[in-house]
Structure 1
Amino acid sequence: MREIKEFSAWRTSGFLGFTLLLLALTWLVWAGAGFFREREVFYLWHLLPSLLASLHLGAGLFTVQPNEAVVLVFLGRYAGTVREPGFHFANPLAARKRISLRVHNFNSDRLKVNDALGNPIEIAAVVVWRVVDTAKALFQVEDYKSFVAIQSETALRALASRYPYDAEGKSLRGNPEEIAEELKGEVEERLKVAGVEVLEARLTHLAYAPEVAQAMLRRQQALAVVAARRLIVEAAVGMVKEALSGLEAAGLALDEERKAAMVNNLMVALVSEAQAQPVVNVGTLYA
């Protein structure tokens, strides 16, 4: 398939065309009045050309709004695009198709897909886009708006299947900015054929599917508890080391059995969730 690229169409000022139209209408009125008044062939030879000139000049006038383009098609061939806002005159025999150059938003539906670990998740995104090549948008794809929607959802599904929902490395939940940039690049690559530029792509919804949401929530809570316990134990070990080092620096040497008892008591007091209750020991470890 031959690629069609946008180029500027021939056009001139619409005010010039409107002036010529007024002259053609004046010519038409003069010829028509003379023919109906005197019924001479001389006026008929002026009547037909003036009528054709008026019709063609009137058909060639058109306006272009800001952030809008008009694509011209002449005898089945692309004849160029007019992007400049204002009043224009172009080939009156060319068909004109208007296309918006404004920024558009596409909000995808909530898609149910499996992440890289096989967990079912719900994901949705917003894609901000605009047309930058009118010829590609109209002639390279059947319907560029529908093409944007389908390709955006396809790219979103592909991205979601490459990364886990949540993990220690790169994940959908843990790296939102990187995921957004990668999604933008993938969508833009797919929409390049339609002459569409992607300004932004970002996830708007990310969650586990309802059937596994409760189980995954309990899993996340368990992981959080384990991480908190690990942090507490690491801190308690450091405090016990400091206590033993302080005793040795003060000249209070303990044998291995008393050290073990002291470490056990300190670890219980520091790690236990319940408030530690002091116990007065009136005996000895060797009794």
Structure 2
Amino acid sequence: MSTTTTSHSPESEGPPEAGGREAGGRGARIIRNEATTEIPVHLLFRDEPEPLSVALAPAVVNRRRGTGEQPRIARRAPAPLRPRRAPEVDPDLVERPARVLPGTAGVLAGALGATGCVLASWWAGVLPPLAVDALGLPVHAGAGLGGPQWATLAGCGALALFGFGGLARGRTGRAWVLGLFGRYRGTVRRTGLMWVNPLVLRRRIDVRLRHWRSEAIPAVDANGVALRVVVLVVWRVRDTARAALGVEDHQLYLRECVEAALARVLARLPADLSPNAPGAADSATLRNTEAVSDALTRLVAAEAAAVGLQVYSAQPLGVEYAPEIAAVMQRRRIAALDAQHRDTVLTSVVDSVEDTVTRLTARGLVELDDYERKALVKDLTVAFYTGHGDR
């Protein structure tokens, strides 16, 4: 049997590679030199993709046929804000009236105790002679301070201390939150003189109708523009137990609730809209203070009710741009007013020129060709515009 020898070209020589063969089984030709790596030749002459045969037409979104007018996209009003779930507070911590006695009972008990101390001292013979003469008591030698005398003095002294020490004065618009050994014992809303157990801890709470005017609170609107807002909050303490014991400082808690609610409300609406913006007339902005006040009051009232606070209104007194934003907005407004003024002046000048040229030609005072008409219009425009600029 004879064997057939096949000669190989230099380009096809080289070690066999895993990807060195094409799909048909032929060896792939490879370019190789000292400075480059091995590059398959068929990759250098790849066929370009065929161009698409479908002609692409410009897309028009919801254009009115025959007019070429683009539709006006109305800005949808945001959905109403819903208060979040109120924080959980101890359900047993609810205001209840405390047990107190009229102030007359405390005065009588203190007077009885003081009288008992004086009589016990006279009985023991330790009462000074001047006090004896002042009180009109008979002279008594006394047996000295013994066990019975000490017991009488201790009992009468304790009665006097409890009687006079428990006297308290209740004021209109103020309440006392009482606690004994860390336990809530009730709230006193009575006015006038009364007797309260002197062992309880008293904490005074202002239950009058109050208002709080905030400082300039930083916030941002729906477009991310920095704002400064001043808020007026009208509120009062409704549940003294929760206001005093449910939170560390109910006034600080109210301020933080106002700041959080303000951030939520202002972030949903823009501070202002351009008059030429699509749907600007139907869009809500932060200039609608009534809607903003209603949403803010609803959120703050829901958050503050958990700690016994009743919020009547929370309304923004002023919504202003931040200083750095206000400077930019002022420049923009000045530029817009200047452009509007220039447009008004130009419109007036053009109308005046047109009326002048029309009258001159209509009455036959002058006969103008195109070149002379253009020159006259140019001269009149410069003259009228200069006259408006000098005013």
Category of TM-score, reference length = shorter chain: 0.7 to 0.9
Identity rate, percent? 30
Q: 1:30 aligns with which of 109, 115, 119?
A: 119
CA contact (8 A) 1:31 1:47 kept: yes
TM superposition shift of 1:61: 1.2
Q: Please tell me whether residue 273 in structure 1 is matched to residue 348 in structure 2.
A: yes
Match of 1:48 in 2: 154
User: How far apart, in 1, do the equivalents of 2:161 and 2:361 lie?
Assistant: 114
Q: Please tell me whether residue 153 in structure 1 is matched to residue 267 in structure 2.
A: no
Relative to 1, partners in 2 of residues 1:121 and 1:45: Cα closer, same or farther, differing over 3 Å? closer
What does residue range 40-119 of structure 1 map to in structure 2 within 5 Å?
40-119=146-225
Match of 2:109 in 1: 20
1:175-229, CA deviations, whole angstroms, 9 ceiling, x for partnerless residues?
11121121111111121122111122111221222323344356667889999xx
1:126-152, CA deviations, whole angstroms, 9 ceiling, x for partnerless residues?
212221111011111011121122222
- Segments of 5+ residues of structure 2 without an aligned counterpart are 1-88, 127-141, 274-279, 365-391
User: How far apart, in 2, do the equivalents of 1:213 and 1:129 lie?
Assistant: 32
Greater strand percent: which structure? 1
Match of 1:242 in 2: none
TM superposition shift of 1:44: 2.5
TM superposition shift of 1:123: 1.6
Relative to 1, partners in 2 of residues 1:223 and 1:189: Cα closer, same or farther, differing over 3 Å? farther
Relative to 1, partners in 2 of residues 1:208 and 1:28: Cα closer, same or farther, differing over 3 Å? same
Amino acid at match of 2:160: S
Amino acid at match of 2:299: E
Match of 2:386 in 1: none
CA contact (8 A) 2:112 2:159 kept: no
TM superposition shift of 1:33: 2.4
CA contact (8 A) 2:100 2:194 kept: yes
Relative to 1, partners in 2 of residues 1:75 and 1:220: Cα closer, same or farther, differing over 3 Å? same
Greater helix percent: which structure? 1
CA contact (8 A) 1:71 1:99 kept: yes
Relative to 1, partners in 2 of residues 1:89 and 1:206: Cα closer, same or farther, differing over 3 Å? same
User: How far apart, in 2, do the equivalents of 1:74 and 1:157 lie?
Assistant: 41
What does residue range 165-204 of structure 1 map to in structure 2 within 5 Å?
165-167=271-273, 168=280, 169-173=283-287, 175-204=288-317
TM superposition shift of 1:164: 1.0
User: How far apart, in 1, do the equivalents of 2:339 and 2:316 lie?
Assistant: 30
Q: RMSD of aligned C-alpha atoms? A: 2.8
CA contact (8 A) 1:123 1:206 kept: yes
Structure number with bigger Rg: 2
User: How far apart, in 1, do the equivalents of 2:122 and 2:268 lie?
Assistant: 78
User: How far apart, in 2, do the equivalents of 1:61 and 1:34 lie?
Assistant: 29
User: How far apart, in 2, do the equivalents of 1:59 and 1:68 lie?
Assistant: 20
User: How far apart, in 2, do the equivalents of 1:45 and 1:213 lie?
Assistant: 80
**Aligned partner of residue 312 in structure 2, secondary structure:** strand
User: How far apart, in 2, do the equivalents of 1:154 and 1:125 lie?
Assistant: 12
Relative to 1, partners in 2 of residues 1:45 and 1:209: Cα closer, same or farther, differing over 3 Å? closer
- Segments of 5+ residues of structure 1 without an aligned counterpart are 233-270
CA contact (8 A) 1:72 1:79 kept: yes
User: How far apart, in 1, do the equivalents of 2:171 and 2:149 lie?
Assistant: 41
Relative to 1, partners in 2 of residues 1:208 and 1:273: Cα closer, same or farther, differing over 3 Å? farther
Amino acid at match of 1:131: V
User: How far apart, in 2, do the equivalents of 1:90 and 1:213 lie?
Assistant: 58
User: How far apart, in 1, do the equivalents of 2:285 and 2:338 lie?
Assistant: 21
**Aligned partner of residue 273 in structure 1, secondary structure:** helix
Amino acid at match of 2:210: H
User: How far apart, in 1, do the equivalents of 2:185 and 2:120 lie?
Assistant: 35
Query: Normalising by the residue count of structure 1, what TM-score does the alignment of the two structures yield?
Result: 0.75
User: How far apart, in 1, do the equivalents of 2:328 and 2:182 lie?
Assistant: 60
Q: 2:268 aligns with which of 155, 162, 181?
A: 162
Amino acid at match of 2:95: E
Match of 2:229 in 1: 123
Relative to 1, partners in 2 of residues 1:47 and 1:207: Cα closer, same or farther, differing over 3 Å? same
CA contact (8 A) 2:108 2:163 kept: no
Q: 1:2 aligns with which of 90, 102, 109?
A: 90
